[in-house]
Amino acid sequence: MDEPQIDEPLRLDASGPSVVDLHARLAMVGYPVETLQLNVFGPATGDAVLLFQRGRGLDQTGIVDMETWESLVDACHHFGERLMCRRTPMMRGDDVAELQLLLGSLGFDAGWIDGVFGAGTETAVADFQRNAGLPVDGVADPTTIATLTRLRLSANAARPIAAVREQEALRHGSEGLVGRRVVVGDLDRAPSFAGAIGAALRREGARVLLLHHPDGETHAKAANQFDAELYVGVMLTNDDSCDVAFYETESFSSYGGRHLARLLVDALSPILGAEGSALGKRVSVLRRTRMPAVLLQLSAACADGKAEDIAAAVLAATEGWVAEPEPV
């Protein structure tokens, strides 16, 4: 069964069945809205949406865009409450992400922990069933889920295969930037910045794919098809801060993305003259990319006229990351 969708973003004063559904889902994930008008998006709804976005590592706008809606739908799926399998369209949700994490922690390679039940997850479920003496069909049915749940404590003590693979790839990658496949993406109002960063990386021998598109899913798909070793996204914001985001959930974090994000904050802060932080987020462009990925969220006012300086800082941080892929 397809997940419910919204036709357009939901914001203050929106009304209708989608708002009723929004209120129900916010309550399901711990953000109930006190209102007598369940079909109207009021100030209290906006406050609850902001809290949800903050808790999920999404951009805090108070507006339910497609990314926020999909994240809310994902959050409503709790592990063990439904049968999980590969189908079209592919199943997705927090329960799928937990399934992938548990399988990976037990040594069964479910691939990147993105909350999407694809071929890799199906194969990992089948491998687990085979090893556990269960019927092998690649479907996470109640028996399979119950068996995984019994092993939860021991599984949580181990790092999932996705994390180990990412760390090993960084350790054993080629020296320097020569020949490395890097995607640089302009997500919002940043064509000159993305272009300058791409040019700086190319001068050092990297194979750069430059993207200009507002949709993070489009960037992630292109980066995966390019078999990129690194994704660097850039967007301008109206905030005063200049942050660098990497992929992180409550139970999983991109090892390489986190380390590079911290190096970038250190390199960019003196140039931009603004406070910056390395922030764990789960926006789609970070969640769907199957390689270390960072998203530069730069204050438009602070970054104005500094494209070349920013590109030089990104290059220096990236070279440092390649030379020392693990923090010392």
The two structure tokens encoding residue 69: 């809606």
Tell me the residue ranges of DSSP E strands in the chain. Answer: 181-188, 207-212, 230-237, 243-247, 278-281, 293-299
Tell whether the model's pLDDT for residue 12 goes beyond 80: yes
DSSP 6-24: -SS-B-TT-BSHHHHHHHH
Domains of the chain: 17-75 (1.10.101), 94-158 (1.10.101.10), 174-323 (3.40.630.40)
At residue 228, the pLDDT reads 96
When mean pLDDT is compared across 4-8, 174-178, 258-262, the lowest value belongs to: 174-178
The two structure tokens encoding residue 169: 């790839």
Report the alpha-carbon distance of residue 309 to residue 197 in Å, rounded. 10
Report the alpha-carbon distance of residue 27 to residue 44 in Å, rounded. 13
In Å, how far are 112, 260, 269 from 264, measured between CA atoms?
24, 6, 8
At residue 250, the pLDDT reads 83
Give the β-pairing of 181-188 and 207-212.
parallel
Tell whether the model's pLDDT for residue 18 goes beyond 70: yes
- Give residue 153's pLDDT band: very low, low, confident or very high (50, 70, 90): low
- Give residue 158's pLDDT band: very low, low, confident or very high (50, 70, 90): low
| pLDDT tens digits for range 43-88 | 999 999 999 999 999 989 999 999 999 999 999 999 999 999 999 9
At residue 2, the pLDDT reads 60
Across the chain, what does the average pLDDT equal? 92
54-91 as b/e: b if 16+ CB within 10 A: eebbbbeebbbbebbbbbbbbbbbebeeeebbbeeeeb
Q: What is the rounded average pLDDT of the residues 148-168?
A: 74
Q: What is the rounded average pLDDT of the residues 131-146?
A: 97
At residue 1, the pLDDT reads 47
pTM for this entry: 0.88
| pLDDT tens digits for range 169-197 | 777 666 789 999 999 999 999 999 999 99
DSSP 86-113: --SSPPBSHHHHHHHHHHHHTT----S-
Q: Single out the residue of 168, 298, 282, 280 nearest to residue 233, CA to CA.
A: 298
| pLDDT tens digits for range 221-253 | 999 999 999 999 999 999 888 999 999 988 889
